[in-house]
Amino acid sequence: MLTLAGLSHHTAPVDVRERFAAEVQAGRHSLAELLALDHVREAVLLSTCNRTELYVVTDGAVDDESLIAMLPKPPGVDGQSLPRFVYIRRGRDVVKHLFRVVSSLDSMILGEPQIQGQVRSAYESAIKLQREQRLVGPVLSRLFESALRVGSRVRSETRLGDGAASIPSAAVELAKKIFGALNGRHAVIVGSGEMSEIAFDCMRQENARISVVSRSEESARRLAARGTAAVHTLPHLPELLANADIVIAATSAPHNVITVEMVRRVLPKGPKQPLLIVDIALPRDVETEVGETPNVFLYNLDDLHQVIEGTMERRRAEVPFAEGIIDSGVEEFQAWHNALEVVPLIRALRQRSEQIRATEVERALRSLRHLSDSDRAAVDILTKQLLAKLLHQPTVRLREAVAAGDGAGIVNAARYLFELESQLENDAG
């Protein structure tokens, strides 16, 4: 049976989630131990900063307690309180859950792109270990490959991943709406704290030419060491403003660092080319009136949140389309999975029929000793063909019924009518 036990940002606080993530990252949780359990056939552990989920295929149903016991046991997390953070899914719900996870419908930020790579990497890690430990069998392999396919379809057929969904990406989106590509643009980062670091990394990714301005040269140098950048102190800010394309202000100063008087002094008629100033500091670094300067575009945190909210609204409108793709993927997987369940039955039916045929042919030939070798071979072939024709239609119908999801009754009837219960148990043993 396909089962999932996990915890995520929906059910567990960040301190619990990070302990689980660290435990998995440290490699202290061994799936091989799980596979040593009699009833566990396949296992994949998915771990990101926001979720830890264990996907297992077991023989028969496993109770919640045993499933929770299979999860990693990070130090500092009380085993007694763990059940309230954990959710359990079984059968079809597991498929739907994983498809929603890969499509980022279950993510903290709807439509975020990283989850697909994280699922792929968890699956590939399990595949790497597969040769030694047989972690991934046919069911989980099919499940994860289907999930990644569904995730790709959701990404390409809907606009769930469109737009900026974080402060840095919103700033970059605004910059791109002014300058197109940011390659070679002069970006001035004012401040050297955590937000400045994020801004620096964003501008570096876009291949902008970066200047760092800070109160002390030392802190500016520390930030500039994250890449290639010119280093300046605050007194040089006015002259940098005069030839900047983008200014990102993120100091912790309690007063305005860029004032309208400063801008008017260095750019009395406004800049020749558009100048984008993004103020991500609290309290704000840039005087509001600076935005009234011709050709200057000034945005603060509220404006960036407005961009993000617009994105999220559009992403939420895409959810029904994504759910449609997911549902069709779930149906497809279920059809395959159901068909997988009928394989042992068909094999047992054919084996039993062949045993009967072989016994009866042998008995008949014993009383037909006058037949030549070629006649005996002809009788053997005739009965084989007869059997194949007789079993063809029931086999096809069984597969169809199971694939359609309404085959349980028919499968049970076939077991009963052909007395296959004991044979199936022997095969499973």
Partner 1 sequence: MSMIGILHALALATYVLAGALIASSLAAGSREVSRPALLAIVAAVLAHGAALAAYTAGYGELPLVGLAASISTLAFLIGVGLLISALLRQARPLAVVLIPLIGMLVLAALVLGVRPSGDEFEFRGAWFSLHVVTAFVAYAGLAIAFSAGLLYLLQFRALKEKNFGRAFRFLPPLETLDAVGQRALVLGLGALSFALLLGWAWTVRFRASLTLRNPEVIWGVVTWLVFVSALVARRGGAGGDRRGASAAVAGFMVVVLAYVVLRVMTASGGLFL
* Smallest distance from partner 1 to CB 235, Å: 24
Of the candidate spans 97-105, 122-130, 292-300, 420-428, the one that interacts with partner 1 by CB under 8 A turns out to be: 292-300
Q: Tell me the residue type at 153.
A: R
Q: Is 98 in the site for partner 1 (CB under 8 A)?
A: no
Tell me the closest approach of the beta carbon of residue 134 to partner 1, in angstroms.
45
Q: Give the span between the Cα atoms of 186 and 129, in whole angstroms.
A: 47
Sequence length of the chain is 429
Under DSSP, the state recorded for 84 is G
Instruction: State which of residues 283, 294, 324, 405 lies at the interface with partner 1 (CB under 8 A).
Output: 294
CA max distance for the chain: 119
Using CB atoms within 10 Å of the CB of residue 384, give its burial: 0 to 12 exposed, 13 to 18 middle, 19+ buried.
Answer: middle
Q: Is 269 in the site for partner 1 (CB under 8 A)?
A: yes
> HSE (CB half, 13 Å, CA atoms) of 38?
5
Structure tokens at 231: 């280093």
The CA-based dihedral angle spanning residues 65, 71, 72, 77, taken in that order and rounded to the nearest 10 degrees:
-50
CA end-to-end distance (rounded Å), the chain: 16
Instruction: Answer yes or no: are the C-beta atoms of 223 and 214 closer than 8 Å.
Output: yes
Q: Which residue number, 297 or 336, has a Cβ lying nearer to partner 1?
A: 297
Task: Choose the binding region for partner 1 from 24-32, 209-217, 304-312, 344-352 (rule: CB under 8 A).
Answer: 304-312
| Touching partner 1, residues 173-212 (CB under 8 A) | 174, 176-180
Spatial neighbors of 416 by CB under 8 A, at least 6 apart, are none
Of 73-81, 209-217, 263-271, 367-375: span binding partner 1 (CB under 8 A): 263-271
Beta bridge partners of 53: 6, 46
Of residues 5, 152, 189, 29, the one with CA closest to residue 93: 5
Q: Which residues pair with 58 in a beta bridge?
A: 40
In angstroms, rounded to a whole number, what is the distance separating the alpha carbons of residues 352 and 418? 8
CB of 302 to partner 1, least distance (A): 9
Nearer Cβ to partner 1 (242/388): 242
Cβ–Cβ under 8 Å, residues 184 and 208:
yes
Crossing angle of helices 408-417/301-366, nearest 10°? 20
CA dist., res. 4 & res. 53, Å (int): 7
Q: Does 272 bind partner 1 (CB under 8 A)?
A: yes
CB 295 to partner 1: min, Å: 5
Pick the binder of partner 1 from 41, 90, 120, 159 (CB under 8 A). 159
Asked if residue 139 lies in contact with residue 2, where contact means CB atoms within 8 angstroms, the answer is: yes
The minimum distance between CB 162 and partner 1, in angstroms, equals 6
Does 322 help bind partner 1 (rule: CB under 8 A)?
no
Report d(CA 381, CA 214) in Å as an integer: 91
Q: Which of 49, 234, 266, 410 is catalytic?
A: 49
Among 306, 328, 351, 412, binds partner 1 (CB under 8 A): 306
Amino acid symbol at 238: P
Q: Which of residues 58-77 bind partner 1 (CB under 8 A)?
A: none
Q: Report, in Å, the least distance between residue 175 CB and partner 1.
A: 9
Q: Which of 87, 297, 321, 418 binds partner 1 (CB under 8 A)?
A: 297
| Residue number, 138 or 310, with CB nearest to partner 1 | 310
Question: Closest CB to partner 1 among 238 and 274?
Answer: 274
Query: Any catalytic annotation for residue 202?
Result: no
Work out how close the CB of 291 gets to partner 1 at its nearest, in angstroms, rounded to a whole number.
Answer: 8
Q: Which is nearer to partner 1, 43 or 164 (CB)?
A: 164
Out of 72, 168, 271, 329, the residue judged to bind partner 1 by CB under 8 A: 271
* Site of interaction with partner 1 (CB under 8 A): 159, 162-163, 174, 176-180, 267, 269-274, 294-295, 297, 299, 303, 306-307, 310, 314
| Active-site residue list | 49
